[in-house]
Amino acid sequence: MNQLERFKAVCKGQPVDYVPIIGFPGASGLAFGGAWGEVYQRLLDTGMPARIKGWNEKTLWSPDAAKSWSDFWGTITPLTLDFFPAEPAAGAKYNKKVDGKFEILEYETGALTKQLIGNDDIYSMPEFIKYHVRDWDSWNIYKKLYMPGKLWSPDKIEQHCKKFDNRTFPLFMSLGSTWGEVRNLAGTELAGTLLYDDSALVQDIIDWQNDIRKKNLYPLIERLKPEILQLSEDCCFKQGMLISPSHFEKFCSPVYRQVVDLAKSNAAEIVIIDTDGNINELVPLLDKTGVNATYPVEVKAGNDLITLRKKFPNFIFMGWLEKEVINEGNENLIENEIMSKVPAMIKTGRYFPNIDHSLQPMCTFKNLCCFMKLLYNVLENPEGQFYEFA
């Protein structure tokens, strides 16, 4: 089997020669092309061979680093759509001021962000002092600045599409989000209260995204027929959903059903939602729309995939392995974390094991090797070049 055939078989719950490790943007886990910044340096410092490349400091993710990582660790880096078929939006200009170890970004939308210098490399959460969207006026300014430009010519689009023909790896395509974008633009608190205080503004933000999606991305789905369609919502927290089920069904579900219909008509294997937090309340809502997958299934949010699997036998899950067991001093936790979850889930099918989110700066190369060796033994996965170090 090639990697595309293997991926499809797991998604369908069919027999497979071995279960692969695959990760998607947003919560890549042990896959999707490696590590960067402090995590990458930590792995080098604790013994990882220097021939394994890290992400480029300017562009972050890079195909060379992805291949280097995947070859060594035996993971799958899916193909990802690497173009947007229209001229770029103008975007919001900003001024940057340095304040000690922080930098302050002042945007023309009125947004104000405080973050550590070199934040892209450190990958820490900025402090959003003011968000881009605070009311209708600020939303209209943002909407104008971030409206994509003229659609490319059919010939130019076709040129960029051709490289994905005759592929042997699954193709991943992100379609943005629904209420998740409201939260990104307005902050969680305002995004929640707007559902009650100004639902028309929430709907306008969602409709604006959907119009862009229909015009620019839906034709690409019909042309490329990607295996993976993703929406990034982050609509849950440790105790459950950040948005009520009734609001979810009103604002999010109509878009999801539209995407699912498009996915079915173009033979996509999964429509997957990227969300943090506890998904117990969310999965039934997703299932009703036809969405059939979610990731990264955070451990500390109290998720229990074995219980969820009994209720949703055809749902596809990714993740659910605690990343902290790979950190220094936690090596005694590795065996139980894998053996208490992976064998049972693999028997049920439709499960891609991975850590929830990504490696942390406290990880060690030795612990990662031990983790991967045990995991691959359980999966009967023969890939990777790390065994001599394990």
In a domain, 132, yes or no: no
In a domain, 124, yes or no: no
- 96-176-119 Cα angle (round to 5): 30
pLDDT tens digits for range 234-272: 999 999 999 999 999 999 999 999 999 999 999 999 999
Look at residues 134, 66, 129 and name the one whose alpha carbon lies nearest to residue 103: 129
Half-sphere exposure of 382 (CA within 13 A, CB side): 2
Instruction: Label residue 5 by pLDDT band (50, 70, 90).
Output: very high
Look at residue 125 and tell me whether its pLDDT is greater than 90: no
Instruction: Label residue 120 by pLDDT band (50, 70, 90).
Output: low
Residues 35-40 have a mean pLDDT of: 86
pLDDT value at residue 118: 75
Q: Which two tokens stand for residue 316?
A: 């596809």
Contacts 24+ apart (CB under 8 A), 303-310: 303/278, 303/279, 305/341, 305/345, 305/351, 306/341, 306/344, 306/345, 308/279, 308/280, 308/283, 309/345, 309/348, 309/351
pLDDT value at residue 164: 98
pLDDT tens digits for range 73-87: 999 999 999 999 999
- Number of compact structural domains in the chain: 1
In a domain, 164, yes or no: yes
In a domain, 166, yes or no: yes
pLDDT value at residue 55: 78
Report the range of poorest mean pLDDT among 34-48, 152-166, 277-291: 34-48
In a domain, 67, yes or no: yes
pLDDT value at residue 63: 83
pLDDT value at residue 64: 85
Look at residue 178 and tell me whether its pLDDT is greater than 60: yes
- 58-62-63 Cα angle (round to 5): 160
Look at residues 179, 380, 151 and name the one whose alpha carbon lies nearest to residue 275: 179
Say if CB 179 and CB 233 are below 8 A apart.
Answer: yes
CATH of the domain at 260: 3.20.20.210
Q: What is the DSSP track for 37-63?
A: HHHHHHHHHTT--TTS---BTTTBS-H
Instruction: Label residue 13 by pLDDT band (50, 70, 90).
Output: very high
In a domain, 217, yes or no: yes
In a domain, 338, yes or no: yes
Look at residue 36 and tell me whether its pLDDT is greater than 90: no
Residues 153-179 have a mean pLDDT of: 98
pLDDT value at residue 59: 56
Burial class (CB in 10 A: 0-12, 13-18, 19+), 272: buried
In a domain, 215, yes or no: yes
> Which domain, by its residues, includes 175?
3-89+151-389
